[in-house]
Chains A and B, each alone.
Chain A
């Protein structure tokens, strides 16, 4: 599904963000991306969205080199990638329903699709009774569930999550993780960048650790810190 081939990226001010990264992520995998701030996690996700291009190496998604994609095709690439962020990025003046519907409307989906898909996805994230509320009237956990609904309403092949639990308390983090697992079980590839040690340790999924742009670990059923003494 996703393949990095010797990918390096250095920002204009000279800081290296990623150094010679090679890895494969299969369809339907759940991958944690861990590492300290500035280790290159966000750059990794931005490269996947083609918000940045690598300086060296190639990135393949669904078998295609996304660096060779013409600029006008990029939006179509992004339709296959859902995104969730730490700060939710909801539109404050639109209701929950409208926020989710917006994602379908702006890619030109007809009204009938919107009217059938949005209630369905709101049911999946458990917010049917809040569909007419504004984001400001919801708790952080609920807002993040709206964001997940928006990211997934178009049934993307890949779901990227950048610290989705970063602003949430443990209970809400738990419900977001349950949601992401559920989405993962439908066959969607999930890549999640996180700092949440307890969460990674409990999930026992693949862990890729970055440190100052270098991949220092790629563990199939990993935990957050390598020092924890896990034997494979």
Chain B
């Protein structure tokens, strides 16, 4: 067994090195296609996260002027209390809004904020989502009100954009994954061709089929693995630096899940590519 392990590892790496140009091409194609898959998955989760927040959370926010007087705030508050289409409301002081902003915004933006510049706000849940627009119309021009935002529409538009983007990403990824598989298949075929003398001697002296095949399977497997490693790096970078991350607060587990999918798909296409090559070109 030890002998075989040493043999298989040696063969695998010498094959990878011998066909290094093809290996690089295959690994890069796997990496690009899996990066697209990973991004599509992250986008999907971002969208789901955004929708979930919107479902349970605020639908209408009435932002007061930072300079609004206590009387103006009390006026808005009493009106909201008497409005039947509003289920419940919560008042956020300037300090509370400031704390929230610090949490949500990246440090580069949040550090210019001060408590005094923050608008106090009412976070209201209307009885039905459509009423958000009535609330918006009622309060937009009242004294002391800075702005009324109903994120429903925005989120809807964003979700739509994300869905389109996701379909485009996945379609591209599909095509690229296919070509990655073909590239891996071709690398393995070349490796088999380069070793045809060895292979024929091995068959002659009675090496078992798996003994002959395994180095080529591991070769494809490693190409898939390398490709997904690069893709995982790209997806993690995207997760860390892309602004969507901050708005939707994707959790670490979402990233890990995405990376797991990327890894599995990468290893899978590597193995499938080499399995096909072996079936077709390594007749033992």
- How extensive is the interface on chain A, given as a class? 20 to 34
Q: Residue B157 at the A interface, CB < 8 A?
A: no
Q: Which of A66-124 contact B (CB under 8 A)?
A: 72, 75-81, 83, 89, 91-92, 102-103, 105-111
Question: How many residue pairs at the A-B interface have CB separations less than 8 Å?
Answer: 58
> With A106-B211, A108-B211 in contact, do A78 and B201 touch (Cβ < 8 Å)?
no
B208 proximal to A (CB < 8 A):
yes
CA distance A159 to B238 in the complex (A): 64
Residues of A within 8 A of B7 (CB): 105-106
Q: Which residues of B contact A80 (CB under 8 A)?
A: 206
Q: A9 at the A/B interface (Cβ < 8 Å)?
A: no
* Residue B200 is within 8 A (CB to CB) of chain A in the complex: yes
Closest to B7 in A: A105
The yes or no answer to A150 lying at the interface (CB within 8 A) is yes
Contact call B205/A107, Cβ cutoff below 8 A: yes
Residues of A within 8 A of B4 (CB): 108
Q: In this assembly, does A39 line the interface, its C-beta being within 8 Å of a C-beta of chain B? A: no
Chain B contact residues, majority secondary structure:
helix
- Distance in angstroms from B209 CB to nearest chain A CB is 7
Q: Is B198 an interface residue (CB 8 A)?
A: yes
Contact of A154 with B by CB under 8 A: yes
Q: Decide: B205 and A103 in contact? CB cutoff 8 A.
A: yes
Q: A105-B3, A105-B7 are in contact. Are A89 and B200 (CB under 8 A)?
A: yes
B204 on interface, CB distance cutoff 8 Å? yes
| Per-residue A-contact encoding for B181-216, CB less than 8 Å = 1, 0 else | 000000000000000011011111111110110000
**What is the CA–CA distance of A79 and B202 in the complex, to the nearest angstrom?**
10
* Residue pair B3, A78 in contact (C-beta under 8 Å): no
Partner of B208, one of A75, A103, A154: A75
CA of A107 to CA of B206, assembled, Å:
6
Q: Which of B3, B197, B206, B212 contacts A89 (CB 8 A)?
A: B197
Residues on B with beta carbons closer than 8 Å to the beta carbon of A78: 203-206
**Chain B interface (Cβ < 8 Å from any Cβ of A):** 3-4, 7, 197-198, 200-209, 211-212
